[in-house]
Structure 1
Amino acid sequence: MNGLSLLDHLAIISDPRQQWKVEHKLSDILFLTIAAVIGGAEGWEEIQDFGVDHLDWLRQYGDFENGIPVHDTIARVMGMISAKQLQKSFSIWMRDCHEATDGEVVAIDGKTLRGTYDKGRRQGAIHMVSAFSAANQVVLGQVKTAEKSNEITAIPELLELLSIRGCLVTIDAMGCQRAIAKKVIDKGADYLLSVKSNQPSLEAAFDNYFSLNMLQSDEGDTYSTQEKGHGRQETRLCLVNDDLSVLGDLAFEWPELKTMGIVAAIRQEGDKPATDITLRYYISSAALTSKQLLEASRAHWSIESQLHWRLDVGMREDNCRIRREEAGENFAALRHIAFNLLNAEVSFKAGIKRKQKRAGRNNDYLSRVLAGQGVS
């Protein structure tokens, strides 16, 4: 870390209000919102209530000279401040408190904030694309997809914010694009991309190369795992190939391509014969063994189980209806800040929701959460 706190990083965000009308400092409003979300607040009125209940404690960190702003003021300010500036300050803060290691899996995936869909105004739900460190379980950055756009355009924007040199960036089939692969390489990282029908020529080349008999052969680099539970057994088999001649000219179209991989997942219920086989194809710029590729492909799904699921179940993200102006995107970013801080606090062994409730009623614990990654 370079000694700068989260509040120092948030100071780059410009205050869009007319200064002669300002009664509450922008830094106070941002800190209040972050602390309130850590304490379980889910909307503007609850943030105001949290502030009223914790005013003396809040004054340890900010001025709050004129007390706590009303919820309308909080909502208006959070809708006005630049989401891009907040995203940038978030990603720089994470660079300072999270040092990436060589080979670290950084999973990139999108999530729709379902509660932000507005049928009456014909406004689609907000869709955020996030980068997640699988090993450390922290969000490294996030951007919102543009209206009438998709993740393909948002991912390069997100990559630009990240410090990922030496990392292995995993993206599902939507991100299997040459321009995205090049962007990852330009950032000094490697890619592991899932291949599906949006790249029909590449998928066809895999289909022509692969047969199920390869999984039973002793030749080549293969690796398998087995898991049992809930009356079923799941076997995963992976094989990799660094002889890219089987892809023909396609091998030269992907920047620094070194490895093609195939993962087969076989599920067996009880004593019944296995009938459910799922195949996934991958390409990577890293020279991966079958074990490394299988582990990285599984680590990618931590963004679903360790981030998206916990945001929904623990922090009720899909129930949040905030979306006016920049507020929906900004609130999602502040929720990610709260998630990172709560996740990093390990003295209290509990889920996100229990941690939030404890932080909401215990100022000492809330201070401990905030101190965890250089906030205060």
Structure 2
Amino acid sequence: MEAFGECNLEWLRNFREFENGIPSHDTIVRTVSMVEPDEFSVCFVQWMKESIERVDGRIKTIAIDGKSLRGTYDKERKTCLVHMVSAFAIEYGAVLGQVKTEEKSNEITAIPELLKLLDVKGAIVTIDVMGCQVKIAQQIIDQKGDYLLTVKENQGRLNEVFNQHFNVVTLSKYDGLNYSTEEKAHGRTEKECTSLVNLSMNLLI
């Protein structure tokens, strides 16, 4: 922050006088350390929401994902000390909000907390297999949003239902709305198929 301030001092003086120049590194650290993280998170989410609304209004797709921060690996524990769950506005390439967890397994509890901060009304919320939970899906619906969740073997009954009704043979014969891509990556050819299928909630539950 100090280096940024030094490089942009003239521009920053449009907002403050900075009679004594940019605060020192130590002063900035003391100031930032006094900020209450949860309150700052709420303010940040609200600021991002208002900034996007000034552009053209509505967020259509929100991707929620967890990532471990580089440089926080603990060699003794053999784990990363800082893991963040973030909400990303796809259309704008901007982070809407973040919640910190200590371990990747805690994403299940962190995602609902992050959702509480967000306005997902009218948006599609995408989450990987970690967030494929009935309570999370219901929370998105309660907040007037839609969801797109990943189903894998960790969801036993749900995965079994999908394999019964949407196996490769069935999907290859499907004549409804569908889209496929094929690309070469990591030494192999990957083909992804997406089909829009009408489902009842009774089948999913």
Counterpart secondary structure, 1:139: strand
Report the CA distance between 1:125 and its aligned residue. Answer: 2.3
Separation in structure 2 between the aligned mates of residue 160 and residue 234 of structure 1, nearest angstrom: 36
Q: Deviations over 1:141-196 (max 9, x none)?
A: 11212568611111111111111210010100100111111111111101111112
* Matched length: 201
Match of 2:195 among 235, 239, 252: 239
Counterpart secondary structure, 1:101: coil
Which residue in the other structure is 2:99 paired with?
143
Relative to 1, partners in 2 of residues 1:243 and 1:114: Cα closer, same or farther, differing over 3 Å?
closer
Report the CA distance between 1:205 and its aligned residue. Answer: 1.6
1:133 paired with 2:89, answer: yes
1:90 paired with 2:44, answer: yes
Matches within 5 A, 1:31-180: 47-99=1-53, 101=58, 104-119=60-75, 124-146=80-102, 150-180=106-136
Report the CA distance between 1:237 and its aligned residue. Answer: 2.4
Separation in structure 2 between the aligned mates of residue 233 and residue 65 of structure 1, nearest angstrom: 60
Relative to 1, partners in 2 of residues 1:246 and 1:59: Cα closer, same or farther, differing over 3 Å?
closer
Matches within 5 A, 1:212-291: 212-217=168-173, 219-227=174-182, 234-244=190-200, 247=203, 251=204, 253=205
Relative to 1, partners in 2 of residues 1:189 and 1:83: Cα closer, same or farther, differing over 3 Å?
same
Which residue in the other structure is 1:26 paired with?
none
**TM-score under structure 2 length normalisation:** 0.81
Separation in structure 1 between the aligned mates of residue 24 and residue 145 of structure 2, nearest angstrom: 45
Separation in structure 1 between the aligned mates of residue 91 and residue 6 of structure 2, nearest angstrom: 38
Q: Is the 8 A contact 1:128 1:145 kept in 2?
A: yes
Q: Deviations over 1:35-66 (max 9, x none)?
A: xxxxxxxxxxxx32343444343222224344
Larger Rg: 1
1:207 paired with 2:163, answer: yes
Separation in structure 2 between the aligned mates of residue 74 and residue 118 of structure 1, nearest angstrom: 27
Counterpart secondary structure, 1:51: helix
Between structures 1 and 2, the one with greater helix share: 1
**TM-score under structure 1 length normalisation:** 0.47
Separation in structure 2 between the aligned mates of residue 232 and residue 123 of structure 1, nearest angstrom: 29
Separation in structure 1 between the aligned mates of residue 115 and residue 20 of structure 2, nearest angstrom: 40
Separation in structure 2 between the aligned mates of residue 62 and residue 162 of structure 1, nearest angstrom: 32
Which residue in the other structure is 1:260 paired with?
none
Relative to 1, partners in 2 of residues 1:214 and 1:155: Cα closer, same or farther, differing over 3 Å?
same
Report the CA distance between 1:91 and its aligned residue. Answer: 0.8
Report the CA distance between 1:119 and its aligned residue. Answer: 4.5
Structure 2 unmatched runs, 5+: none
Between structures 1 and 2, the one with greater strand share: 2
Relative to 1, partners in 2 of residues 1:224 and 1:235: Cα closer, same or farther, differing over 3 Å?
farther
Match of 2:143 among 180, 187, 197: 187
Relative to 1, partners in 2 of residues 1:149 and 1:77: Cα closer, same or farther, differing over 3 Å?
farther
> Larger relative contact order (C-alpha < 8 A, sep ≥ 6)?
1
Q: Deviations over 1:219-249 (max 9, x none)?
A: 45251334467898654323343254883xx
